[in-house]
Amino acid sequence: MKEKPDVLQGTLALMVLKTLDVLGPQHGWGIARRVEQISGDLLAVNQGTLYPLLLRLENEGSIASEWGASENNRRARFYRLTAAGRKQLQAEARDWEQMAAIIARFFRVKAEDLP
């Protein structure tokens, strides 16, 4: 049986920010679940890194959190994107696309293309 790959180091933050951007405030489990769903259940979110990451993003000011009630009336801590976080997301998304484009070109390259 093939193991699901863990989320690549450093990209989880981007995924968390994007998830919050698209779906609005979410609690920790919700974020983890959404990330897995969006990846088509191809990724497994390591919970061990999720909560320290959320705290770090909060300390950096990209997200904020408060207690609230979930859809089935459970007490849960909800995380939402701040203005700074939105800006950060845009910048990181841009960087990521650029990087992805570069990598894609490397994959396309053939020996005869090079001068």
Partner 1 sequence: MKFLRRFFIRLSNLATGRSADQRLQDEMAEHIAFQTEENMRAGMSPTEARRQAVLKFGAAEAIREDHHAEQSLPFFENLLFDLRYAVRMLVRSPGFSFIAIATMALGIGATTAIFSLVDATLLHPLPYPHPEELVRIEDDLPGAGATDAGISIPEFKDLQRSGIFQYVVLEIFGSANLTGASQPSRLQYEGVSPGYFAMLGVKPELGHTFDPLDQTPGFTLDVVISDGAWKRVFGSDPHIVGKSLRLDNDSNRVIGVMPPGFRDPGRTVGERNTELWAAYGFSDDPARSSNRSLRLPLETVGRLKPGLTLQAAQSQLDGLVASLRKQFPGDYPADSKWTVRLVPLKENVVGNVRQSLILLFGAVALVLLIGCVNVANLLLARASARSREMAVRQALGAARKRLVRQLLTESLLLSLLGGVAGLVILFSMKGFLLRLIPESLPRLNDLSINWAVMLFALAASIAAGVIFGLAPARQAGRVDLAHALRMEGRGSKGSTKQTRTRRVLVVTEFALSLVLMVAAGLLLRSFWDLYKAPLGFNPQHVMSVQSWLPNPDDPKTDIYGTAAQEAAFARELLRRSRLLPGVQEAALGSEPSIPLHHDGNPSQLIVEGRQTESKQPPLVERSDVTPEYFHLLQIPVLRGRLFNDGDNENAPLVAVINQAMAETYWRREDPLGKRLRVGRGRVGVGLHARKTWITIVGVIADARTESLANGSVPQMYLSLYQDTPKELAIFLRGQLDQEAIPREVRAMVQSIDPELPVYGATTLDDAVSWSLEQRRFSMDIVAAFAATALLLAALGIYGVISYIVSERTRDIGIRLALGAQRGKIMAMVLRQGLGLAMAGAALGLVGSVIVSHLMAGLLYGVRPTDLLTFAGVAVLLIGIALLACYLPARRAMRVDPMVALRYE
Going by the DSSP 8-state scheme, the letter that residue 5 receives in this structure is P
Q: Distance between CA 85 and CA 106 in Å, rounded?
A: 31
39 binds partner 1 (CB under 8 A): no
Stretch touching partner 1 by CB under 8 A, among 10-18, 57-65, 91-99, 105-113: 57-65
Stretch touching partner 1 by CB under 8 A, among 11-19, 30-38, 90-98, 106-114: 30-38
Question: Helix or strand or coil: residue 75?
Answer: strand
Residue 31 CA, chain-centre distance (Å), reads 9
CB-based burial of residue 102 (10 Å sphere; 0-12 exposed, 13-18 middle, 19+ buried)?
exposed
In contact, 97 and 75? CB cutoff 8 Å:
no
For the bound state, the minimum distance from the C-beta of residue 36 to partner 1, rounded and expressed in Å, comes to 11
Binding residue for partner 1 (CB under 8 A) from 5, 23, 51, 99? 51
Contacts of partner 1 in 70-89 (CB under 8 A): 70, 72, 74-77, 88
| Residue ranges binding partner 1 (CB under 8 A) | 27-30, 32-33, 46-49, 51-52, 55-56, 59-62, 70, 72, 74-77, 88
